[in-house]
Structure 1
Amino acid sequence: MRRLPVLAIALLLVAACGGTTPSAASPAVSAAPTAAASATPAPRVSLKVNWTALTGANSGLWTAVEAGYFKDESLDVELVNINSSSRSIAALIAKEVQIGFSDGANTVQAVSQGASVKLFQSVTNHLVFSIMATQSVKDLKDLKGKKIGITTIGSSTHTAALQALKLAGLAQSDVTLVPLQEVPNILAALVAGQIDAGSVSPPTNSRAKASGFKELINLATDGPDYPSVAIAATTEYMSANADVMKRFVKAYSRGVDRFRRDKAFGIASIDKYLKIGDPAILDDTWTQFSKYLELPPYVKGIDAVIVEVAATNAKAASLKPADIFEQTYVKQLDDDGFFKTLGK
């Protein structure tokens, strides 16, 4: 099973991509801004923004929404949830959303097929995933011949599983990957004995530990630099809306800063969207992602992703990092000294 056919299918079947909008209630914490909003209000713009997996990686976005930072930038953001990076890219191309979460591997695959999309900021340059397994699995090498749960082929959970296998000297053909659609379903399958291991992110890795499963590796701490989660748009939209893109990055970055500094507000944001309820799991999720969300959100490590994808997709071999990401908006804010104002 390879990502390329799946992504190609996704690009053709964009009409099937659906989304849901979270409820309007805000966390019961003061949403006072941490940095001054734009002095002169910009024209109001409506944006549909897609987040993918049920994971704390979305915390910066959620916190920015709940704190009103997008509204400060005259951006009316509607959140939708399409639970796959490849389907998120398809939705961008179909103009169902203007901005969407993605990852390095799927973006390289899409661009190699001629898709006019680019990453414009990172979320995390680490694979914030753990490979959780039953106690009978000794180590990563022992995964050979075993069943590993992921969400979908071409997802970030798939990428994380492949990276873990690579570190153990194994290939995808050495295991059976079991697509389970949502990260929480992976833990459910572990509990039911339907799989031997699973590629999961916080808070599901915390729940798995609490349920007695073994962490074979935490790729966030023991894996390579990797643009695991980033945010993308079409080149057409970016070219026509450069100021909107810069305002989005600014509001999002304020959200990450608030998430890191205001634990109570950050945890409330996580719980609103993930509906965890368990204080210990919420605390652990905040602790993990407060370390791993990038700020300034430059995309890093894309060179290695191009090489990885090119190993099975010859069209990717000629791609350069500049074909995959556009860092103009982050750099402009950096040059303006914006990131130095955060936390003050």
Structure 2
Amino acid sequence: MVRTRFILLCGLICALCYGGSLFAQDKVRIGYIGLSLSSLPLVAARELGFFSRNGVQAEVVLLTSQLSAVALNSGELQYVAGVGPGSVSATLAGSPSRAVWIVANRMIYDVIAQPELKTLQDLRGKRIGVSGLGATTHTAFTMALEKTGANPKDFVVVALGPQQHQRAMESKSVDAMIVDPPVSFVLLKKGFNKILDIGAAVEMPVGGLTTLTKTLDGKPDQVRRVIKALQQAKESLIGSRERSVGFIVKTMNMEPEIAVKTFDLMAFAWAGSGVPTRPGMENIVKGIQSQGRFADRKVAFEEIAEPRFALQVARELGHKE
């Protein structure tokens, strides 16, 4: 009897030490639009074991923003890795979804132009490449232009497909692009010009997690654990230059020199708790409305975001929120 109790006690101690990894794990499917800087916490959470440690078995599915919204509403996905104009527009259009976690509230997008173009004025009437019409890059660019006093209608915005950014600039298919690292650093190294730091002009979430209200109501502990895995993965990346640079080089096939520069920007921009903020979410709505969508609608923060789970995780991890 004593031996049996001792064995049970040892098992309990092991369970407490190793967490959810010893128990049946929740299987979830998370959609994302492609490998980018803002998706690194998702990739790290899977590759470095943070999902497993939090009792989550995550399948990561590559889908477009539009298909992700459809799959989320149909139940094919439980989460979408992203918070931005696309996900918020889907919510405003009737999807019962909420932003529950963000990678950062500061974007690190720049407007990079052809070598002969030196100023924002030079870009009037020129073709500006964005990741998608109505996407984060497009919305943020529009808001940054308005902040500088420029008229967004003076600029020709075109959508480019995934992985076409560098090729489009080198072939002169576009005159400028809105890009983040590593592409921005690669282009600067090749002699292209930085025209505008969008992140310095606009506070808006980049990356994150969106899910349905029925998941929030029905599986609150799962939501908390998924968020915790992502936040821990993000903090792991920005907490160690050596670990992060190695992971970036391996995952994004990046030169070490550019990976170091990318890490320095990440460490600055991502140093937050992951809790969606009112100003950031309101700026997403303003950006959407500036493009003529849902223009007459008054949108409450609670209609598009649910921060309480990220707040719980932030407190668990020692953030003061």
Q: How would you bin the TM-score normalised by the shorter chain?
A: 0.7 to 0.9
Which 10-residue stretch deviates more, 278-287 or 99-108? Answer: 99-108
Q: CA RMSD in A?
A: 2.3
Alignment partners' CA distance in 2, 1:316 and 1:255 = 39
Alignment match, 1:322 = 302
CA 1:59–1:279: 2 relative to 1, 3 Å: same
Q: Are residue 56 (structure 1) and residue 56 (structure 2) matched?
A: no
Aligned partner letter, 1:46: K
Residue among 235, 257, 267 paired with 1:280? 257
1:115 shift after superposition:
1.0
Per the alignment, in what secondary structure is the counterpart of residue 120 of structure 1?
strand
The one-letter code of the counterpart of 1:174 is D
Structure-2 separation of matches of 1:123 and 1:37: 26
Cross-structure match for 2:167: 188
Q: SS state of the match for residue 275, structure 2?
A: coil
What is the identity, as a one-letter code, of the residue corresponding to 2:114? T
| 1:31-110 mapped onto 2 (5 Å cutoff) | 38=19, 43-82=24-63, 84-110=64-90
Partner of 1:210: 189
Flag structure 2 segments of 5+ consecutive residues without an equivalent: 1-16
2:101 paired with 1:124: no
CA contact (8 A) 1:113 1:315 kept: no
What residue is the counterpart of 1:153 in the other structure?
Answer: 133
Contact 2:139 2:288 (8 Å CA) reproduced: no
Cross-structure match for 2:288: 309
* Separation in 2, partners of 1:324, 1:42: 33
Shift of 1:243: 0.6
Q: 1:45 to 1:158 in 2, by over 3 A?
A: same
Instruction: Give yes or no for contact 1:118–1:233 (8 Å, CA) kept in 2.
Output: yes
Residue number among 278, 288, 296 corresponding to 2:273 in the alignment: 296
Shift of residue 175, structure 1, vs aligned partner = 2.0
Provide the C-alpha distance between the structure 2 equivalents of 1:285 and 1:316, rounded to a whole number of angstroms.
39
1:79 Cα deviation after fit: 1.7
Provide closer, same or farther for how the CA distance between residues 40 and 267 of structure 1 changes in structure 2, counting only shifts above 3 A.
closer
Q: Contact conserved, 1:144 with 1:175, CA < 8 A, in 2?
A: yes
Report the counterpart of residue 229 of structure 1 in structure 2.
207
Are residues 235 and 295 of structure 1, via their aligned partners in 2, closer, same or farther at CA, if it must alter by over 3 Å?
Answer: same
Contact 2:140–2:287 (CA under 8 A) maintained in structure 1: no
Greater Rg, structure 1 or structure 2? Answer: 2
Matched pairs, number? 301
Given that 1:160 and 1:199 are in contact with CA atoms closer than 8 Å, whether structure 2 keeps it comes out as no
What's the offset of the Cα at 1:104? 3.1
Q: Could you report, residue by residue, the CA deviation over 1:155-195 in whole angstroms, capped at 9, with x for unpaired residues? A: 2222233233323433443222222112x412211111111
Contact 2:20 2:52 in 1 (8 A): no
Checking the alignment, whether the CA contact within 8 Å between 1:46 and 1:75 is kept in structure 2 is yes
TM-score by length of 2: 0.85
* Percent pairwise identity: 21
Secondary structure, counterpart of 1:318 in structure 2: coil
TM-score under structure 1 normalisation?
0.80
Instruction: Please show how residues 330-341 of structure 1 align to structure 2 within 5 Å.
Output: 330-334=310-314, 337-340=315-318
Separation in 2, partners of 1:104, 1:201: 15
